Amino acid sequence: MATGLSAVKLEKAIMNLEARLREEFRKDLVRQVAKQMQPYAQQMKALRSQVTGLSSSVESKSIPCHSVEPNAGNEADEEVVREVAQAAMEHHQATIESLDDELGKPGEEKRSLGSLPGDVVEEPVAFLETAWNLVLVLGHTDSGQLDLAIACFLWLASGLMQISFFLILLSEDFLGEPFGKQVEVAKAWRESIAHDFKHMDLGDESLVSRVCRGDGTLILSTPQMQMLDQINAFIGLGKADFEAPYFQPGVLLCMMCILLWCLYLLNEFRQVVFSLEAVSQLPRGPRTQWRRRGSFQTISYGRFAIYCFMRLSRFMIAVGLLYAGVQWLAGTISITELILNAVALSAVLQIDEMVFAALMPKKIQICIQDLEAIKVPYSKGRSQAESIMLLVGITCLMLWPWMYNVGPLSWDMIEVKRQYCGGTQNFVVADNQLQGITAGLVTSEYADQSDHLNQTSLIRFAVRRHIWQEPLGTSNYIRFGKDRADFVSAKEISMYHRNVHDSLCIDFDEIFLGNATHEIQEFYRPYFYSASFEAGFPDGASCAEMAHLCSSLEPSARLVRHVCPRTCGCHLQHANPMLKLVGEGCSSACFTERDTAMRFTACEDVDFEESPHLREEWEVFWDSYRPLVEQRVGVNLSSPSLSFLPDFLAHVKKVGCPGLGIVTMDPVTRSPWCSGSSLFYAPLAAWCPQTCGCHTSATLTEWCPRSCEGCKDTAIFPTNLPVSDCAQAHQLGLCEALPVQAAVLCAATCDACSALYNNGTIV
């Protein structure tokens, strides 16, 4: 393309120089001839005046005609002047004719110098240095048969190469599937592995959340993350944006590359049309004849027809490349590849020029390079019409890919991103084939590592700390198993089973923050420091500092209740019953202590008028009830079936225990308020034994205080004691040795009724 443009400019410069030289030469020639003819003209003028004077003298003397002889000398001089003038004019004409032969025909010169209309100029159309112009010089190159065969082969090969590129660019394997099909791919990915619990990271973050925020540590679904990065860069979106902005860099760059490609092809179309118009002006005849080297005198009909066929073939190939190139550019979703693709397309268009310059035999190259440009008249009207056509053409060429390719591509990109990252991200699911249901888990949201430590997941913090700071096998945050079986047990055991077998009801800060050593330190170390981490003190915290999490509804707070049971009131009868359960962190040892203490309290409802601090605990419980069931059960307490519940909660919080008699059953858990819920709260019978009917029950239920039995032996004797009943205990002297246990279990047999109801003081 650059070679062709240079040739046109060169031809124009040569034409202008030719015209100026021709005009200057003519003017100089006229001046020289006039200068040389001036002496002869003066001599002719003098002779003419002498002849005129002689004639006048003869007439004045009335000399007879027969007595005067003709003046032979004057006649000879006049003849000489005429001969000299004739010779000068013939020399002048010969000089002009020789100049015309060198620079062109007189008719052509006259037309170029002023015979054309005033608004018409001549545009020199140069023959570009390509294999497509081979037909113009074929048979007139004075080259060997081998050169001709190679030249014909190169012309055919260059055309086939461009056709091959056209077919490859439009092939399905090259263009790929339409981008719109990625919407279905995104849906399938989102509905399958994106929320699979097996692909959570150590921080309980779902795979889809990691992909959509561009987590660089991913080893799964990296193609999806790369796709999202390309979409964000192409449309100009942030990671959390789903609305296309006004400025879309990828769309703009794509349209600019398509415009560049269209300009390449429009220039090619103009070259084809101009070359056909130029060759059509040559005189045609049965044979091709040359005026001189590189200048046609006539062109044969066959050569003209073949040349027209070749140029039209070139035109059709350019049309195909235009379509294929637009489709390829409009399907490029990587903003970094668009310019590279546009440059690659321009190289495809220049294949014939590169083949000509690199492989064409030199003699044929020289013949094609010597072809003179043919001048084509160009009027003002034609220029304006052509400009309008080109403007309309480029406008249509730009509207076509925008409406059918680039515009729909940007819309599909937005939809693909919405399918990948729209909606709720932080949950995972698993298939419970034994029950035939789908189990789900709400996962954590990502927190920047530069944030405070309590915003980093515990497991990631534990791993990071052990990698860089702690010796192998010993950790404040990781409970290492002795073997694989112990590891699996530690991984799967629940808090309920952990606390059922826990015989301690002490605050662990006494063990870990004091100077004293304890045999259970190593076993309980991960529990205490993990609880401290959840409270925001990764290097250890006192139970007083962690107390604000005792009534927290977050699952992480169960560790705090586990390591600080006394601070959280797990051993107290009238502590906030919310989440004071074995499965929520309180150990069974604390409940044993609580039950023992309740044997020494009166079987009466709490009087909130006399105990303001207990009223505060009671109100906190009912205030926590609603958010707890909504969070863990997912029940909306504003639904019509539960419309009465808010009023009930407000009433029972105000009136105290009598309010439990209005609605005796928890409408959410379907269990009595008095017996409590194994998932949410401890039995309220510890607060309201009379309202719950513990004092009138023939057989005391397990949730009622033991004091409501009166002075009786317990109906359920613990199996972990060394005796099997109260009689055996009395016989062995345990009533005197263990007076508290005797009052709790065997008040009648051990005659310990006087010890009851005195707040644990044995008298």
Q: What is the mean pLDDT of residues 149-173?
A: 83
What is the pLDDT at residue 433? 61
Query: Using 50, 70 and 90 to split pLDDT, how confident is the model at 436?
Result: low
Residue 605 CA: distances (Å) to CA of 262, 617, 677: 90, 15, 20
For residue 544, count other CB atoms closer than 10 A to its CB: 11
Residues 91 and 204 in one domain: no
Same domain, 233 and 306: yes
**Residues 516-527: what's their mean pLDDT?**
74
The pLDDT of residue 441 is above 70: yes
CA of 562: how far to CAs of 233, 278, 525, 582, in Å?
49, 97, 12, 9
Residue 82 has pLDDT above 60, yes or no: no
Summarize pLDDT for 356-402 with one digit per residue, the tens.
Answer: 888 888 888 888 887 877 888 877 888 888 889 889 988 888 898 88
Domain end among 95, 115, 135? 115
Clarify whether residues 439 and 541 are in a common domain: no
Which is higher by pLDDT, 520 or 220?
A: 220
Residue 566: per-residue pLDDT: 92
Whole-number Å distance between alpha carbons of 533 and 523: 17
Share of the chain above pLDDT 70, in %: 83
Q: Is residue 699 in a domain?
A: no
The DSSP H or E segment spanning 45 is helix 2-60
Read off the pLDDT of each residue in 500-526 and give the average, rounded to a whole number. 77
- Phi, psi of 432, rounded to the nearest 5 degrees: -95, 95
User: In terms of domains, do 571 and 633 share one?
Assistant: yes
Mean pLDDT computed over every residue of the chain: 78
Residue 23 has pLDDT above 50, yes or no: yes
Residues paired with 124 in a beta bridge: 375
Give the domain extent around 524: 475-692
- Least confidently predicted of 33-37, 57-61, 105-109: 105-109
pLDDT attached to residue 538? 84
Question: Which pLDDT score, from 0 to 100, does residue 125 have?
Answer: 78
Q: Quick check: 297 and 289 in contact, CB under 8 A?
A: yes
Q: What is the pLDDT of residue 130?
A: 80
Q: What is the pLDDT of residue 731?
A: 81
Q: How far apart are CA 191 and CA 185, in angstroms?
A: 10
506 and 419: one domain?
A: no
| Distance of alpha carbon 340 from alpha carbon 518, whole angstroms | 70
Give the 3-state DSSP-derived string for 397-432, with helices as H, strands as E and coil as C: HHHHHHHHHHHHHHHHHHHHHHHHHCCCCCEEEEEE
Residues 652-710 have pLDDT tens digits of 988 989 888 888 888 888 889 999 888 889 999 999 998 898 877 777 788 888 788 77
- Identify the helix (H) or strand (E) that includes residue 375: strand 374-379
> Mean pLDDT across the stretch 440-459?
59
Q: Which of 88, 115, 142 is the last residue of a domain?
A: 115
Residue 760: pLDDT over 80: no
Q: Which residues pair with 196 in a beta bridge?
A: 429
Would residue 454 count as lying in a domain?
Answer: no
Cα separation, 422 vs 237, whole angstroms: 14
Residue 71 has pLDDT above 60, yes or no: no
Q: Do 412 and 553 share a domain, yes or no?
A: no
Query: Is the pLDDT higher at 567 or at 10?
Result: 567
Please, which pLDDT band fits residue 87 given cuts at 50, 70 and 90? low
- The whole-model pTM stands at 0.55
Give tens-digit pLDDT for 323-333. 888 888 888 88
**DSSP 8-class letter at 540:** -
667 occurs within a structural domain: yes
Structural domains in the chain (count):
4
Q: For residue range 177-186, list pLDDT tens digits in order.
A: 788 888 888 8
Verify that 343 and 242 share a domain, yes or no. yes
Distance CA 380, CA 402 (A): 33
- Which has the higher per-residue pLDDT, 85 or 274? 274
d(CA 365, CA 679): 93
- Strand 289-292 to strand 374-379: parallel, antiparallel, or no bridges (unpaired)? unpaired
β-pairing, 374-379 with 120-125? antiparallel
CA distance 422 to 186: 11
